[in-house]
Amino acid sequence: MGFKTSRRSRFTIRVTPHQIQNPDSAESCTLNQATLPSAAVHNPYQESRFTTKESGIVAFLCSEVALFSTLITTYIVFLGETIPGAIPGEMPTPANSLGLGLVIINSICLLSSSGTIYLGLKARGKGQHGLYLAWLALTILLGTLFLVGTGYEWYGLITEHHLTIGTNTFGSTFYTLIGFHAFHVSIGVVTMCILWGIEARRCLSAECEAPELVSWYWHFVDAIWIVIFTLVYIIGR
Amino acid sequence: MATVNSYSKSTTSATIPLVTRLHGWVSSVDHKQIGIMYLIMSFIFMVVGGLEAFLMRAQLWEANNTLVGPETFNQLFTMHGTTMIFFVIMPMLAGFANYFVPLMIGARDVAFPRLNALGFWLSFFGGCLLYYTYLGAEGLYGASNAPDIGWFAYAPLTSPAYSRGNATDYWILGTMMTGAGTIAFGVNLIATIFTMRAPGIRLTKLPLFVWMMLIDAILILLAFPPLTAAQVMLLFDRYLGAHFFDPQSGGSALLWQHLFWFFGHPEVYIMALPAFGIVSEIIPVFSRKVIFGYASMAAATAAIGLISVGVWAHHMFTVGMNDMVDTFFAASTFLIAIPTGIKIFNWVATLYGGRLQLRTPMLFALGFLSMFLIGGLTGIMLSVVPFDWQISDSYFLVAHFHYVLFGGSLFALIGGFYYWFPKMSGRMMNEQLGIWHFTFLFVGFNVLFFPMHIAGLLGMPRRVYTYAEPEWEIWNQLSTVGAAVMGVGFLLFFINIAHSLRHGETAGDDPWDAWTLEWATTSPPATYNFEEIPTVESRRPLWDLKHPDDPDSQYE
């Protein structure tokens, strides 16, 4: 007979209608309302400090910490190592190829974007939707600037210092560590663009946790940058 | 209950076409269906991995045998190890956790059902990707070729120079994909256990299986991302010309070992903790007693989780690290024996004075207890550095970790399957066949793996396709006979499943007179699990329900 689930009809949790601030625009939402999260649903379970989605994102970010720890450890392991037999001064090293100027501007962009997304969420909490969208757009812009800056820095490293991922272990670890971080920034930028598109059509209820959780991810990416910046550009240079 | 079953039987098989039913499975986000799919996946790969093991045993039957060549043998042990770890034990524990954690904590589903489905399909297709190598991966001679780098893929075996073709890339991508699925599973489990417990289930009232799965999920989040990072580095080495693991260009082959075992050792506990959890559920029920030392059991689990991230380099004593490092990792390995010992004593104390019911699940739990003990003791032997130097990479080691992973993890997981089969299918497994299965498996297991200790002490190296010493033949022949006996045992197991699914006697909601919440609902449970989320007052909610005059809650 095989495994079967019961024949009884699928239980549906009663979802309170989302409080859409602008009922007219609800027509334009293509997303299924029932799939969108809402804190207004009655929680039948034991009280907990974090909501389910918050716990999920925290757990995910913990796994990200483990990932970056590995990359950072690898960077530290190869710090100061050169190719056996290479003439000192000929190979690109952190000291002779990394510059601080551009990366400081980059860091200012990225770190201030943590502030702008925070201000945006604050505006959202107060119901100032336009202001929120503006802050979110500024965050996206700052994130993109960071990526452009990183790309420009890499261009300089490749053309002027002839540092590629295959040059030496410094190149391998540097591009992998910075690249992984930039990849995470890109994911954040894309996610925020999607969020902006959804929010511009006002498809999320006021209680929806998604914007908050996206900001957690973004703060995490910034925090990791502080560690990477300190290690790669200050201690390791 | 019975009416629900007969109703579903008559309608489902008669009116719903097969394609629709299959579509229902493939597109399912129900934690119970995904759990069963994990189990099915595990059994499929178990057959494949078992056949690979048997081929190796056949090759080792006599000295200088040429049944399979060295290349094939290398592929066999690589695929066997990778399969058994990533595609048999991991999906099996994920299957049980998926099915039973929500039921045991009174939840309607896991926290993120769609993420859960994604995790399963990533794991499954990761396995398919690995096995595709037999058909389509370009190997050394241009022919199809499976990876032959060992399950821990040491550098420089994986470097482009030594590993031509792309079998190694399939190994990397397949296990990486599975790892991503496993991380999704871990995230899901943590969110479920932390936020979806029924009212009254505080963390101190969680069933021990759930406790251990919680620590397990945390370990997954700590251990799998480093592997993913290391594998990305390896891909960069192979395709972008990076130098992470390439000593000739300043890279470090040793770094791969560190990164791999930083995943690899917690992984051993990731596979063992669910087994501990299952045994902690089975032993009290079939001893008719409360588990002895609930709090110390939970604390020992947390301690194992903590210490297990600090023991990885005991896999690398022979590499030539300095004495301080060796001492540290030997000490931490001794240390982890303490919480593990606490658990063993707790289980034994639970058995002590109980009215034991030697049903199949209990037999497997007892088998686990004795076999895992042997594996644990040889583990302590191996953590003594000078002894390890002598014996590492011999068959003694192979015997040790099979006693841990097979005699330990897999025995308990199979016991869990017998224990929970009635809940999943609504029918009992055949007891007689079950006892035969256990007997064949237990005897076969010991005949297979115990002689490996001796072969190893005599100096037989692992991972070599043949040997020249005729005096090793007897131990190898014993092992091969044991493998055949175990094969019969597994055959009986699959016959039992097929038979019981059709003809097993109806189980009812609670066939074992057990105490945890999964037995409070129908067998199999409805899609929504519980019509009303139960309120729980003690660790044994069903005991309270059956004995309102003497509830547990007044003692805890």
Closest chain B C-alpha to A74 CA, distance in angstroms: 8
- Picking from A2, A50, A63, the nearest residue to B195 by CB comes out as A50
DSSP for A109-132, please give it.
HHHHHHHHHHHHHHHHHTT-HHHH
Work out the pLDDT band at B13, boundaries 50, 70, 90.
Answer: low
Give the model confidence (pLDDT) of A68-77 as tens digits.
999 999 999 9
Mean pLDDT of A118-146: 96
Note the pLDDT of residue A46. Answer: 84
Q: Is A87 touching B (CB cutoff 8 A)?
A: no
Note the pLDDT of residue A206. Answer: 85
d(CA A186, CA A147): 7
Search chain B and give the residue with CA nearest A77: B255
d(CA B366, CA B346): 13
Closest chain B C-alpha to A217 CA, distance in angstroms: 15
Closest chain B C-alpha to A59 CA, distance in angstroms: 5
Give the model confidence (pLDDT) of B396-433 as tens digits.
999 999 999 999 999 999 999 999 999 999 999 999 99
Q: Does the pLDDT at position B140 exceed 80? A: no
Note the pLDDT of residue A11. Answer: 38
The two three-digit tokens of residue B126, written as one number: 């990761």
d(CA A233, CA A235): 6
Note the pLDDT of residue B93. Answer: 96
d(CA B95, CA B36): 6
B475, amino acid identity: W
Closest chain A C-alpha to B465 CA, distance in angstroms: 35
Mean pLDDT of A30-44: 53
Q: Do B12 and A8 touch (CB under 8 A)?
A: no
Search chain B and give the residue with CA nearest A163: B242
- State whether residue A14 is helix, strand or coil: coil
- Picking from B30, B229, B243, the nearest residue to A168 by CB comes out as B243
Q: Does the pLDDT at position B434 exceed 50? A: yes
Prediction ipTM score? 0.92
Closest chain A C-alpha to B226 CA, distance in angstroms: 5
Q: Do A45 and B221 touch (CB under 8 A)?
A: no
Q: Which residues between 241 and 270 in chain B have a beta carbon less than 8 angstroms from any beta carbon of chain A?
A: 241-244, 248-252, 255, 259, 262
Work out the pLDDT band at B475, boundaries 50, 70, 90.
Answer: very high
Is-cis flag, bond preceding B156, omega within 30? yes
| Residue-averaged pLDDT of chain B | 93
Higher pLDDT, residue A106 or B1: A106
d(CA B299, CA A192): 41
What is the CB neighbour count within 10 angstroms for residue A209?
A: 18
- Picking from A1, A5, A169, the nearest residue to B501 by CB comes out as A1
Encode burial over B181-203: b for 16+ CB neighbours within 10 A, e otherwise: bbbbbbbbbbbbbbbbbbbebee
Interface test with A, best of B40, B189, B194, B238 (most A CBs within 10 A): B194
Give the model confidence (pLDDT) of B301-337 as tens digits.
999 999 999 999 999 999 989 999 999 999 999 999 9
Contact residues on chain A for B229, CB-CB shorter than 8 A: 67, 70-71, 74, 180
Q: Is A15 touching B (CB cutoff 8 A)?
A: no
- Picking from B233, B250, B528, the nearest residue to A74 by CB comes out as B233
What is the CB neighbour count within 10 angstroms for residue A94?
A: 18
Mean pLDDT of B84-112: 96
Closest chain A C-alpha to B543 CA, distance in angstroms: 21
- Picking from B195, B202, B243, the nearest residue to A52 by CB comes out as B195
Closest chain A C-alpha to B501 CA, distance in angstroms: 6
Work out the pLDDT band at B98, boundaries 50, 70, 90.
Answer: very high
Note the pLDDT of residue A22. Answer: 41
Q: Which pTM value belongs to this model?
A: 0.92
Note the pLDDT of residue A7. Answer: 37
B196: nearest Cα among B278, B273, B104, B96: B104
Mean pLDDT of B458-470: 94
Contact residues on chain A for B106, CB-CB shorter than 8 A: 45
8 A C-beta contact, residue B413 and residue B96: yes
Q: Do B222 and A62 touch (CB under 8 A)?
A: yes
Q: Do A176 and B36 touch (CB under 8 A)?
A: no
Q: Is B137 touching A (CB cutoff 8 A)?
A: no
Search chain A and give the residue with CA nearest B202: A46
Q: What are phi and psi of B110, to 5 degrees?
A: -80, 175
Note the pLDDT of residue A34. Answer: 44
Mean pLDDT of B53-69: 94
The two three-digit tokens of residue B35, written as one number: 């759990």
Note the pLDDT of residue B105. Answer: 95
Note the pLDDT of residue B191. Answer: 96
Work out the pLDDT band at A41, boundaries 50, 70, 90.
Answer: low
| Residue-averaged pLDDT of chain A | 84
Search chain A and give the residue with CA nearest B36: A3
d(CA B489, CA B441): 5
- State whether residue B81 is helix, strand or coil: helix
Note the pLDDT of residue B164. Answer: 82
Q: Does the pLDDT at position B8 exceed 90? A: no
The two three-digit tokens of residue B556, written as one number: 């805890």
Work out the pLDDT band at B389, boundaries 50, 70, 90.
Answer: very high
Alpha-carbon B428 to chain mean position: 23
The two three-digit tokens of residue A37, written as one number: 């999260």
A224: nearest Cα among A180, A191, A158, A189: A180
Note the pLDDT of residue B120. Answer: 97
Which of A13-17, A66-70, B120-124, B145-149 is predicted least confidently? A13-17
Q: Do A81 and B250 touch (CB under 8 A)?
A: yes
User: What proportion of chain A, given as a percentage, has pLDDT over 90?
Assistant: 67
Interface test with A, best of B528, B529, B531 (most A CBs within 10 A): B528
8 A C-beta contact, residue B383 and residue B314: yes
Q: Does the pLDDT at position B115 exceed 60? A: yes
Mean pLDDT of A112-132: 95
Alpha carbon distances (Å) from B424 to B431, B489, B501: 17, 22, 10
Contacts 24+ apart (CB under 8 A), B433-437: B433/B492, B433/B495, B433/B496, B433/B499, B434/B359, B434/B360, B434/B363, B434/B496, B435/B360, B435/B363, B436/B489, B436/B492, B437/B360, B437/B489, B437/B490, B437/B492, B437/B493, B437/B496
Contact residues on chain A for B422, CB-CB shorter than 8 A: none
Give the model confidence (pLDDT) of B526-539 as tens digits.
999 998 899 999 99
Q: Does the pLDDT at position A119 exceed 80? A: yes
Mean pLDDT of B142-167: 85
Work out the pLDDT band at B139, boundaries 50, 70, 90.
Answer: low
**Partner residues linked to B144 by β-bridges:** B138
Closest chain A C-alpha to B15 CA, distance in angstroms: 13
B280: nearest Cα among B496, B516, B45: B516
A-B C-beta contacts closer than 8 Å? 178
Alpha carbon distances (Å) from A141 to A112, A190, B81: 11, 11, 48
Q: Does the pLDDT at position B247 exceed 50? A: yes
Contact residues on chain B for A83, CB-CB shorter than 8 A: 243, 249-250
| Burial category of B261 from C-beta neighbours within 10 Å (exposed 0-12, middle 13-18, buried 19 and up) | buried
A133, amino acid identity: L
